[in-house]
Amino acid sequence: MENNINWHVSYEEAEASIHNAVNSYYIHNLNNNELTQEEAIQLTADYAEKGLEYLDEFQQAENAQMEQNGAVTEAVNGIEGTGIADGTAASDGPGAGDGGPGAGDDGGIE
């Protein structure tokens, strides 16, 4: 079963939503005349377990996203330190500031 996680929802909001859904499901089951109280409790427990599994998956995905964002930030910070991000990086290639071939060469575009 694949969950489409909405990243605009915080973990706390998802947890509160599932908590409310479990409570509503329990009340619904208790009011169902075709179920005994024990059946209502068991069905609700199963439903709550699925909610906890979803919250665990949600937390893992949220943690993975935060780790990925951290790695991207570290990579960007590393690039910024080299001058690549702001165009001030020095080149060791031919014509890199020595007036030789390739210095100021625009690749033939005039």
Residue of 87 and 53 predicted with greater confidence = 53
Coil/strand/helix, residue 37: helix
Q: Could you give the CA distance from residue 71 to residue 89 in angstroms, rounded to a whole number?
A: 22
pLDDT for the residue numbered 64 = 86
Instruction: Name which of 45, 55, 42 is nearest 9 in CA terms.
Output: 55
The model's pTM is: 0.55
For the residues 81-105, what does the mean pLDDT come to? Answer: 55
Q: Could you give the CA distance from residue 41 to residue 38 in angstroms, rounded to a whole number?
A: 5
Q: Where are the domains of the chain?
A: 11-82
Residue of 52 and 94 predicted with greater confidence = 52
For the stretch 28-68, pLDDT in tens is: 999 999 999 999 999 999 999 999 999 999 899 888 888 88
